[in-house]
Structure 1
């Protein structure tokens, strides 16, 4: 009996391997660099069995072409590259980061040299866009019968969520610890902008605008990584003019009291600061600063070009908004002018 033109792999060979065990059994290996399964070495079969039986994300890159085999727990690391990544060369699967991870893998095959990496930053494109990710991973050799390395055994943990959470909590702590001690709006704006400056990964740029008493103009009161007076950071935005307010659409946010995502930043304003990244942000979020249900200002923050604006990211900005509203514009400052300039670049 054959599957895809090749001899069917016995069920007991890679039994208990979940989805990947079934995929490996049904794959037509005769057309791959590994050749038919009956020609595989016992060391390769044993290594695959160990990987498939583990609940920990693991993979095997076998031979000089580093043919990719992996278990169920490794599937999330691949994103949209699964299941096509099965049987493909690792240097094709991870082409965009091979300059970083490739030399270590090649050292395993050539020298039998193991390696370990902790929370390594990798910009991968596993879901159709460049993405900031962090991985802790190790490489070690899989020996053949004569003791020489036949492939690379890898174990990996994705640390992205942990790194992002730690970084964002640190930003919130810094913002809260500093702004609560300020005595003037001018000082509060400066401290808030400086605190936001410390996180160039999640906040490529930020702008603080405060409404005048008539709520017809928004005046720039703080900047982060974006000079005042550019097309994206005018000193004053007239909310009565559709022409001058359409860039950031502050009037809509003031009227609805709800945050708003602004798309296509480059088309609107040209290239903007990417913070820690070389790419210009594609999105920004406008958050209303409100007191007793009435908007009195706005925080405009760039969204990282290497992250999707998901619920966690939105929650981070909501917490920043709450911190800025509570501490930066606290009752101590309520009687002071809200139009004092403060800049942090």
Structure 2
């Protein structure tokens, strides 16, 4: 390596750019590059905002440190010096026409929170980006490349979506209702977020047996939604007996009866589900929630917390309903006892007032 040269504006990425065999690319060695390309690369590398650029007949790829950190993932440093159509092959149907428009018209594009399935982490990942493609011109003023300035919105978009679900779950200020009413109300909210929750199953325990009480996004007739889960059945679909410690269990959906699962709002079905106990204070769980997971997002701390909060809300509502029903039964029993006492003392009083013959 003869030195960083044009790449010296960014020590971190500059060394890797300098190590690229530029002579084997359509751009040739950096010493032969036009001044316009040197200037564009210098601007790119000196910026602390995430940027990437493409230049020349193969739209050769460059990026800066911020873009490497925020977006490129495992594709670094492999991507440097390669055609942009190879670097972002999985989203080229989105990126390619936009770049072609920039080169043809010389006008910039703009997209806000665009959904792109990037394969930067070893799997297709649901991501959102706000970005602009702007033309880069050669020394003669002809558009020969483009500069992308980008801000990733993935955390914000997904966070807002999950927060909306949690907010709506707790938005009904009505009086305490029965279990089925509560489950139906929760189901209507969960149905609106089939990206994070492609389908759900709610089981409630009754004499040690788990019985299916509610579903969203999946038919009750599906083999993955049995109506009853006996406690000692070794072939039970969901690990209901593994929830004794109150901890969630992750289930891989790569075997029967998990074929033909619904995909929610996605093209492909979920690969995993999280089974979360429906905890009640000071007692064993009332049941458990099966939450199918979005295959395009990792089960990180935020995702797990979201599912557990959903289950916590359902558990709290069921406990409230059961407590209310118990109070109602107790009130009815007391009222019946009071009526019996009143009738008894009325009869006794009547006997005292009525002279015997």
In the superposition, the TM-score normalised over structure 1's length comes to 0.90
Cα RMSD of the aligned pairs, angstroms, is 1.6
More helix, by proportion: 2
Unaligned runs of 5+ in 2: 327-357
Q: Is 1:251 aligned with 2:241?
A: yes
The superposition leaves residues 13-44 of structure 1 with CA deviations (integer Å, 9 ceiling, x where unpaired) of 33231311222223221111210111101111
- Give SS of 1:242's match: coil
Q: Is 1:334 aligned with 2:320?
A: no
Unaligned runs of 5+ in 1: 338-345
Which residue of the partner structure matches residue 234 of structure 1? 226
CA contact (8 A) 1:282 1:303 kept: yes
- Give SS of 1:177's match: coil
Which residue of the partner structure matches residue 354 of structure 2? none
In structure 2, how many angstroms separate the alpha carbons of the residues matched to 1:99 and 1:140?
A: 18
CA contact (8 A) 1:61 1:90 kept: yes
Equivalent position to 1:28, from 21, 24, 28:
21
Which residue of the partner structure matches residue 341 of structure 1? none
Equivalent position to 2:308, from 314, 318, 328:
318
Which residue of the partner structure matches residue 203 of structure 1? 197
Please tell me whether Structure 1 or Structure 2 has the larger radius of gyration of its CA atoms. Answer: 2
In structure 2, how many angstroms separate the alpha carbons of the residues matched to 1:78 and 1:135?
A: 13
Equivalent position to 2:217, from 213, 222, 225:
225
Equivalent position to 1:149, from 118, 143, 152:
143
The superposition leaves residues 32-87 of structure 1 with CA deviations (integer Å, 9 ceiling, x where unpaired) of 12101111011111011011011100111001210000100011311111100000
The superposition leaves residues 235-255 of structure 1 with CA deviations (integer Å, 9 ceiling, x where unpaired) of 111112223x2x2111112x2
CA positional deviation for 1:197: 0.7
In structure 1, how many angstroms separate the alpha carbons of the residues matched to 2:173 and 2:226?
A: 25
- Give SS of 2:18's match: helix
Choose between structure 1 and 2 for higher RCO, CA contacts under 8 A separated by at least 6 residues: 1
Which residue of the partner structure matches residue 17 of structure 1? 10
Q: Is 1:38 aligned with 2:27?
A: no
CA contact (8 A) 1:69 1:86 kept: yes
CA contact (8 A) 2:113 2:153 kept: yes
In structure 2, how many angstroms separate the alpha carbons of the residues matched to 1:279 and 1:303?
A: 12
In structure 1, how many angstroms separate the alpha carbons of the residues matched to 2:174 and 2:311?
A: 14
Which residue of the partner structure matches residue 160 of structure 1? 154
In structure 1, how many angstroms separate the alpha carbons of the residues matched to 2:201 and 2:71?
A: 35
Equivalent position to 2:289, from 287, 299, 322:
299
The superposition leaves residues 185-231 of structure 1 with CA deviations (integer Å, 9 ceiling, x where unpaired) of 1110101111111101000000111001x22x111111001111321
In structure 1, how many angstroms separate the alpha carbons of the residues matched to 2:266 and 2:111?
A: 22
In the superposition, the TM-score normalised over structure 2's length comes to 0.87
Which residue of the partner structure matches residue 348 of structure 2? none
